[in-house]
Amino acid sequence: MKQAFSETEKNLVGNLYITDDRLPNPYDSLPQYGGLELEMAARTH
């Protein structure tokens, strides 16, 4: 996930969607790594 965040800065990505859930709806719950995700977002913006 740290690499994904660093790649967004280099490639000027506006949105990044990361999930550890599964289909049919991988975005219906919070990921286990939610704290790290918030920390990384705060560092890059």
Number of independent structural domains in the chain: 1
Note the pTM of the prediction, 2 decimals.
0.45
What pLDDT does residue 24 have?
96
Q: 45 or 31, which is more confident?
A: 31
Domain that holds residue 26: 2-44
Could you tell me the CA-to-CA distances from 38 to 19, 23, 24, 31 in Å, in that order?
13, 23, 25, 11
Distant-in-sequence, close-in-space partners of 41: CB < 8 Å, separation ≥ 6:
5
Count of alpha carbons within 13 Å of 37, Cβ hemisphere only? Answer: 10
Distance of alpha carbon 27 from the chain centroid: 12
What pLDDT does residue 37 have?
77
For residue range 9-43, list pLDDT tens digits in order. Answer: 788 888 878 788 899 999 898 788 778 878 877 87
